[in-house]
Structure 1
C-alpha cells in the first residue's frame, strides 16, 4: 500500500486528536474547517479505516484512530529529533572532523588550528593522523579521514586537490659555520657540495631538493638521510652538515644552534593542498576546520 501524506497532514491529525473539535483545529492550524475535513478524509482513505467518529455534537477517536495517534506522536518525535540532530551538526554543536596531515604540518600549523577550533566548537571531536602523502591519499579514499593536507597532487581520478598555500626553502646551517655570518639568500648551486642532511625518497622534501639541484646539473647526494625533522635539526646543530627544508618543515622543533638562510636560484616553493574525495562535500565542521587551517597557513601563502 502506497502511503502519501505530508507532515502537515500529520500535524492536523494530531491537533484534531487533541481538541476533538474541527473548529478549534481549523483555528490552530490556520485552515478552514472543510480543509481540515479534507485532510482527515485523505488519511482515512489512505489507511482504509475510520480515524474519528463524528456526530453533530462530538468527535471521538476510533480504536484504529487511537493506534494511529500513538504512532503519529512517535513519528512526530522522530522527525523533531532528526531535525534537531541535523541542526546541531550544521551549527557545529556536535560532529567529528578527522584529517591527515604531513608530519611537518601536524607538528606546526595543525595544533594551533585545532586549539582554536576546539575553543570555538567544544562539542565537535577532532582526530589527526600524521603521515606522508601516499598513505594520506589512501585514508581519504577509504573514508577514514574527511580530508588530507599534503604537498603532492594525487594522481587519482577519484580525488580532488585544492591548493591552499606554499612555502619556500631555507637552508639550516650550524651557527658556527662560515655561511652563517651573512644574512643574504644562498643559491642552491653554492651549497650543493656541502655535507647535506636530508629526508629519504619518496618524501616531498627530498624530491624538491633533487629537482632543485638537477636544474643545476648536480646530482644530490646527502651525507645523511633521516626521516624525522627533529633528528635532522639536531644533526645540523651538532655541526654534522646543513639541511635544505621547506620553511614549515624547518619550524618543527627549536632552532638552537642553527641559522637559517633563504635558498634561491631556483626559488622553489612547495605547494600545500587539500585532498578530498571527489563528489563528496565536506561537513560544516570539516569546512570550518579547513578555513582555520587556511588562515593559519596564510603567512606562507602563495597558492
Structure 2
C-alpha cells in the first residue's frame, strides 16, 4: 500500500466514478483501475461494488477510505510543513552572543535577515564565550559568536570581527594624555574585568602574567557599559575593544592605545561540525557570513 493508491481511492469516492477520478488525476482509467486492483489484492478484500455505472464502497472499502483520508491529510500536512521549511517561510534559530557583540554588530544584520525571512524566529542567548561555546558543543544552541582563543576541532567557523584591546582610564588619569602605554606600566592599577566565564577574563590574566604581574581585580561584570561606568567613577581601569571604547561616554573616560603587548580581540561565528543544522540555520550562516565578510579592523 502506498500513498498514491490511497489518493486514487479517495478521488474515486469523491467522483463516484473511475472515469471522472482518472480525469481529475490526469491519468488513464486503466491506470487507476489497476492501482485499485493491486490494493485489493494486497489487502485481500474487495473495495468497491460495481453496478452498471454506479459504484459503492464495500464495508471493507469504507474502513480503508476512512483511514486513507486521515493518512493523506497527515501526509499533505507533512509535505506542506516541509515545503515551508525548505522555502524558509518558517523556522527557528538559536544564537549565542556575548554582550559586547549583540548591540554593536548584529542588530542591523538581524533586521535585514528578518526582512527577507519574516517567518523565521531568532532566539538569542547573551552570555560569555565559554558558556556559548559549551552550549553549541552540547547542541543547545545552533551557533554562537565567541572570542577565538585557540583552534577547536569540534567547530566550523567564519570570522566576525578583529580588533585590538585599548586601555580605558578615568578622565584626568596621569596616563590619559599618553600616545600609548604598555601593560607593564599598569601593574600598580586596579583592574575592572569581565567575569571569569568570559574568555576575555582569561586573556587578560595571561597577558598580565606575561607582563610580570598579577592584576588587582576590584570588580568583575558581564556588561561593558557597567565596566565603563566603574572606570568613569574612578574605581579602576579596564581593557575593552575599539568599537566598545567608541561607545563610552565622551569626557567621562580616556581611551589610550595599548602598545605592548598588542592584544587582539578576534570574534568568530561557530557551529558544530557534526551537528544537524536546520534549513533556517544554514540560511542564517550563509547570510551572516556574507554580511560580515569584511570584519572591522
Q: Which TM-score band applies after superposition, normalised by the shorter structure?
A: 0.7 to 0.9
SS at match of 1:25: helix
Contact 2:147–2:267 (CA under 8 A) maintained in structure 1: yes
CA deviation digits over 1:27-83, x for unaligned, max 9? 333333322222111111222111122355443322222222222222222122112
1:127 aligns with 2:96: no
Structure 1 counterpart of 2:226: 231
Single out whichever of 70-79 and 266-275 deviates more from structure 2.
Answer: 266-275
Matched residues in 2 for 1:14 and 1:297: separation?
A: 52
Report the CA distance between 1:18 and its aligned residue. 2.4
Matched residues in 2 for 1:252 and 1:75: separation?
A: 58
Q: How does 1:75-94 map to 2 (within 5 A)?
A: 75-94=71-90
Q: How does 1:210-229 map to 2 (within 5 A)?
A: 210-213=205-208, 217-222=211-216, 224-228=218-222, 229=224
Structure 1 regions of 5+ residues with no counterpart? Answer: none
Contact 2:130–2:197 (CA under 8 A) maintained in structure 1: no
Q: Hey, which of these two has a bigger chunk of strand by percent?
A: 2
Matched residues in 2 for 1:299 and 1:176: separation?
A: 36
Structure 2 counterpart of 1:277: 272
1:60 aligns with 2:49: no
Matched residues in 2 for 1:67 and 1:18: separation?
A: 15
Structure 2 counterpart of 1:209: 204
Contact 1:209–1:220 (CA under 8 A) maintained in structure 2: no
Q: How does 1:1-303 map to 2 (within 5 A)?
A: 4-5=1-2, 7-54=3-50, 57-152=53-148, 159-165=154-160, 166-177=162-173, 179-181=175-177, 184=179, 186-189=180-183, 191-193=185-187, 195-199=189-193, 201=196, 203-213=198-208, 217-222=211-216, 224-228=218-222, 229-250=224-245, 254-291=249-286, 293-294=288-289, 300-301=295-296
Matched residues in 1 for 2:62 and 2:292: separation?
A: 61
Matched residues in 2 for 1:53 and 1:154: separation?
A: 74
Contact 1:102–1:150 (CA under 8 A) maintained in structure 2: yes
Matched residues in 2 for 1:141 and 1:213: separation?
A: 30
Matched residues in 1 for 2:96 and 2:260: separation?
A: 32
Structure 2 regions of 5+ residues with no counterpart? Answer: none
Q: 1:73 to 1:223 in 2, by over 3 A?
A: closer
SS at match of 2:275: coil
SS at match of 1:226: strand
- Cα RMSD between the aligned structures? 3.4
Structure 2 length-normalised TM: 0.80
CA deviation digits over 1:241-285, x for unaligned, max 9? 432222355466544512333434443322222333342232233
